[in-house]
Amino acid sequence: MELLKVKNGLLEAENYFMASPFGDFAGSADVNRNISTGKLQLISDNLKIERKFEFADFVIELEKEDFSSMITGDYATMYLGNDNCNFGIKDKDSLNQNKYWKILRQDDYIQAYSSPDGLNYTNIGGMNFAEPLKKQGFQKLNRDPFVFNNYRVYGGPYITVQNFPENTVCELYDSTDKLIKTRLFDDTMECKIFLDSNHLNGYLVFKDTLGSILFTSNTITFGYGDVWVFSPYNFEINYLGNIVTNMSPAILQDLDEVISIKNIGTESYKEIIIGTQTSGNDLIELSLDGLTYSSTLTLDFVLSEEKQIYVKITKNAANTNFSVRDFQLVIN
């Protein structure tokens, strides 16, 4: 038995502003980016950089650099919106700048947070925002450039844990053994735990309705939008010569790839159904021979048996984001 990370919470595999052509967001603004450091600089004053942004539920996490000084009228802002309304975060006081900004949207409600350290966030306001979003951008007025150290978009502020019976207790502890959150599994054998900050080092304890411990995980780094599954099986997944673990899931490098699955448990498994799940609209198919593809495969695994699985992704023309190679491998 083990707890497996089956989906990375990133909606985009790369930092959009580092991976996209300048024409997709820069407009007439003077922008500089350094691929080796991963930093982007908005140099122009009162000229925005803006990208297409149509995600429904998400977390945007930005790490930026503070301005060395600010005078009256100076500002730095991150915003989202459409043709009718914008919502965002703004620094306009030198003494109250925050290095970390976070905006999340869940169930048509949008919320903003700021933090000096990326760990302890202050809720700085929110609003109902039921209309579809169209854009996300940045703007500034200051003698210094607006420097982005890191920019990431995640699927939501929760971790999802699956495959325990309804009313099973799930407790989240930090690395100091402090109880952070307690949640119950619902009738779909799933529970969601809200993370106050990203990359939380801790562990999960699962208990039955009488309080007896069923399973305790190893120490794990929990991230926004990650999906974890409690598995009674013991498989090893290999991609490009590397073992894909619950701590470091992989994103395929191409649209046609081969992975291998090996039974490293102590018993044989019969009629194991292998499929995929993705938040996008791309077609993902599997095959044993690289010729005949289907959405699922049903396989038997004797002890130590390893099977090669061909993965083919047909990209939907409407999918313009980076999630095309990011999917969840489902083993039942």
Q: Report the CATH number at residue 80.
A: 2.60.120.560
At which of 125, 154, 183 does a domain end?
Answer: 154
Residue 308 CA to its chain's centroid (Å): 27
pLDDT (0 to 100) of residue 127: 94
The verdict on 255 and 320 lying in the same domain is yes
Range of the structural domain that residue 325 is part of = 234-331
In a domain, 1, yes or no: no
In a domain, 10, yes or no: no
Q: For strand 100-106 and strand 58-64, is the pairing parallel, antiparallel, or unpaired? A: antiparallel
pLDDT tens, per residue, the chain with 332 residues: 678 887 888 888 789 999 898 889 999 999 999 998 999 999 999 999 999 999 999 999 999 999 999 999 999 999 999 998 899 999 999 999 999 999 999 999 999 999 999 999 999 999 999 999 999 999 999 999 999 999 999 999 999 999 899 999 999 999 999 999 999 999 999 999 999 999 999 999 999 999 999 999 989 999 999 999 887 777 778 876 666 655 454 555 456 778 888 888 788 989 988 887 766 677 888 899 989 999 888 989 999 999 888 888 777 666 555 443 455 666 76
pLDDT (0 to 100) of residue 100: 97
In a domain, 6, yes or no: no
The verdict on 223 and 143 lying in the same domain is no
Cα dihedral 275, 202, 190, 103 sign: negative
| Residue 84 exposed, middle or buried by CB count within 10 Å (0-12, 13-18, 19+) | exposed
The verdict on 110 and 184 lying in the same domain is no
pLDDT (0 to 100) of residue 52: 94
- Side-chain half-sphere of 68: how many Cα atoms within 13 Å? 3
Structural domain total, the chain: 3
The verdict on 169 and 269 lying in the same domain is no
Residue 118 neighbours by CB under 8 Å, 6+ apart: 63, 99, 100, 197, 198
The verdict on 289 and 242 lying in the same domain is yes
pLDDT (0 to 100) of residue 285: 87
DSSP structure string for 187-248: TTSEEEEE-SSSSEEEEEEEE-TTS-EEEEPPPEEE-TT-EEEEES--EEEEETTEEE-SSS
The verdict on 23 and 129 lying in the same domain is yes
pTM check: above 0.85: no
In a domain, 8, yes or no: no
| DSSP state at residue 132 | P
CB of 152 closer than 8 Å to CB of 226: no
The verdict on 217 and 245 lying in the same domain is no
CB of 120 closer than 8 Å to CB of 197: yes
Q: For strand 227-231 and strand 158-162, is the pairing parallel, antiparallel, or unpaired? A: parallel
Q: What are phi and psi of 94, to 5 degrees?
A: -55, -35
Query: CA 158 to CA 16: how far, in whole Å?
Result: 22
User: How many other β-carbons are positioned within 10 Å of the β-carbon of residue 167?
Assistant: 11
